[in-house]
Amino acid sequence: MEHSDFGKRFAGRIGIGELMDDLGNALVADPAPLMLGGGNPSHVPPVQARFRKRMEAILAQPGEFERVIGNYDTPQGAKLFIESLVELFRSEFGWKVGPENFALTNGSQNSFFYLFNLFAGRFEETRRKQILLPLAPEYIGYSEVGLEKDFFRANRPEIARLEDNLFKYQVDFDSLRINEETGAVCFSRPTNPTGNVVTDEEVSRLRELANRQGVPLIIDNAYGTPFPNIIYEEVQPIWDEDVIVCMSLSKLGLPGLRTGIVIAREETIRIVSRMTSVFSLAPGGMGPALALDMVKTGEITRISREVVRPFYENKAQRAVAWFKREMEGLPFAIHKPEGALFLWLWFEGLPISTQELYERLKQKGVLVVSGHYFFPGLEEDWPHKDECIRVTYAQDDELVEKGLSLIASEIREIYSNS
């Protein structure tokens, strides 16, 4: 069977495709491997109890469950949920927003497919624009959403070496170029895979540079403040009409319900809503229904601040302590964990690539993600790309500790045989 160029492009996604197959198959394998590679959030008991209570209320109200599962929302999304989001951001953060500034999508990946192809790609047949990622490494999910070649351009970071085997990526503004070929600037905060938080000063400078070029600054806030607030640095949510903020209910605890939130100027929201109407008629309604009361009362920010953040911060601290203990005497560094669900481990001078390390660990029943996947748009030859891996600490503590121990054991074996 012959495939179009578009079809061939997706059929050829060998590396990421095999990785996703491995992660998916791990969920049903028997015995199950130690799953340190995925992005699934933890099952946080107080949050799950809150959603269960809300579902019970929906079921108890005559006709409400039938309405939620049986009716399409508008392409923009559930109106009551959007109105509640508007009030939340107005009252708690002083944002000058209205319903016209919000659209719901079927998950963050859906949001970025729309936005990236709206602002980058081919224009008027000959002009091409790219999405600029100012701080590589970046989210693996960006890699294949563009409908044109050379869709991303990434900026290599500066590396600040910190005490106690920690380091931190910083934006290298001296090498950053935002020009006529830039369609939009995008970064995640906190960053998947590294747990890095772009500082307020860096955000301010990026905002200024993007405004000067007349392109939007897109902030991927899937893990950020005010919800789910898996962020361990004190930062303030920001938005204006030159900024696009993308949020999600996934990391709050609803990944299976695929609810993305786009906050942008009215013109952008109209286009995003029309894209939704073409691709899927309307966003799903169950996620907004389960989160509605939490948003209306403001409980969503309280539970994110008082329950979700400390839950993950404590898990991150334990995971760092375990890995440092296991790696004693070996060369390694950990990106300072400032948020998200992951430790980003750097084995400088590793005798093998981290793709080979991934294969070796898979044979021993541990799944991680090789770091080379997280550099979309950074084509230069840089050994650092093949020296890092991402591991999640969102799994049960016993599994995380055992998995980190096996990783350290494999690293020790590699160095002893080299």
Q: What is the pLDDT of residues 272-300, one digit of tens each?
A: 999 999 999 999 999 999 999 999 999 99
Q: In a 3-state reduction of DSSP, which class is residue 202?
A: helix
Radius of gyration of the chain (CA): 21
Contacts of residue 106, Cβ cutoff 8 Å, sequence gap at least 6: 258, 259, 260, 276, 280, 283, 284
- pLDDT category at 17 given cuts 50, 70, 90 is low
Evaluate if residue 301 carries a pLDDT over 60: yes
Q: Quote the CA–CA distance of 316 and 293 in Å, as a whole number.
A: 30
Structure tokens at 9: 């492009």
Q: For residues 203-231, give the mean pLDDT.
A: 97
Provide the percentage of residues in the chain whose pLDDT is more than 90: 86
Q: State mean pLDDT over 48-58.
A: 97
The pLDDT assigned to 89 comes to: 97
Does position 329 have pLDDT exceeding 60, yes or no?
yes
pLDDT for 184 beyond 60: yes
Confidence category of residue 196, pLDDT binned at 50, 70, 90? very high
For the domain made up of 71-297, give the CATH fold: Aspartate Aminotransferase; domain 2 (3.40.640)
How does residue 325 score in pLDDT terms, banded at 50, 70 and 90? very high
pLDDT value of position 127: 81
pLDDT band at 33 (very low <50, low <70, confident <90, very high): confident
Q: Which of 144-148, 153-157, 301-305 has the lowest mean pLDDT?
A: 144-148
Please tell me the distance from the alpha carbon of residue 375 to that of residue 140, in angstroms, as a whole number.
8
The whole-number average pLDDT for the span 115-134 is 90
- Structure confidence at residue 123 (pLDDT): 85
Q: Enumerate the H helices of 64-121 as residue ranges.
A: 64-70, 79-93, 108-119
Residue with more model confidence, 5 or 160: 160
Confidence category of residue 222, pLDDT binned at 50, 70, 90: very high
Predicted pLDDT at 299 = 97
Share of the chain above pLDDT 70, in %: 92
Confidence at residue 18, expressed as pLDDT on a 0 to 100 scale: 58
pLDDT at 12: 46
- Work out the pLDDT band at 1, boundaries 50, 70, 90: very low
Long-range contacts of 350-358 (CB under 8 A, 24+ apart): 350/386, 350/387, 350/411, 350/414, 351/414, 351/415, 351/418, 352/414, 353/386, 354/386, 354/387, 354/388, 354/389, 355/386, 357/389, 357/410, 357/411, 357/414, 358/389
Q: What is the mean pLDDT of the chain?
A: 92
**Each residue's pLDDT tens digit, 85-103:** 999 999 999 999 999 999 9
In this predicted structure, what is the pLDDT of residue 290? 98
Tell me how far apart the alpha carbons of residues 289 and 238 are, in angstroms, rounded to a whole number. 26
Domain boundaries, the chain: 5-43+303-417, 71-297
Exposure string of 63-77, with b = 16+ CB inside 10 Å and e = fewer, is: eeeeebeeeebbbbb
Residue 30 pLDDT > 60, yes or no? Answer: no
> Residue 80: pLDDT above 90?
yes
CA distance 139 to 373: 9
pLDDT in the model for residue 3: 39
Give the pLDDT confidence score for residue 83 in this predicted structure. Answer: 98
pLDDT of residue 6: 46
Of 7-16, 308-317, 381-390, minimum mean pLDDT range: 7-16
Q: How confident is the model at residue 24 (pLDDT cuts 50, 70, 90)?
A: low
Q: Which residues contact 288 (CB under 8 A, 6 or more apart)?
A: 73, 77, 78, 80, 81, 104, 259
**5-43+303-417: CATH superfamily:** Aspartate Aminotransferase, domain 1 (3.90.1150.10)
| 273 to 216, 280, 282, 349, 375: CA distances (angstroms) | 18, 10, 8, 48, 30
How is residue 392 written in tokens? 């999640």
Cα→Cα distances 408→4, 179, 347, 414, Å: 45, 44, 11, 10
Single out the residue of 342, 388, 372 nearest to residue 41, CA to CA.
342
Q: In DSSP terms, which residues pair with 220 in a beta bridge?
A: 188, 246
Residue 4's pLDDT is what?
Answer: 42
**Residue 29: which pLDDT band, with cuts at 50, 70 and 90?**
low
Residue 83 or residue 13, greater confidence = 83
**pLDDT for res 7:** 44
Amino acid residing at 365: G
Average pLDDT over residues 251-258: 96
* 185, pLDDT greater than 90: yes
CA nearest neighbour of 37 among 404, 411, 334, 356? 404
Find the mean pLDDT for residues 112-139: 92
Phi, psi of 279, deg, nearest 5: -80, -35
Residue 135 has pLDDT above 50, yes or no: yes
Q: What is the pLDDT of residue 156?
A: 97
Better-scored residue on pLDDT, 31 or 220 = 220
Q: What are phi and psi of 76, to 5 degrees?
A: -75, -25
The pairing of strands 217-220 and 243-248 is parallel
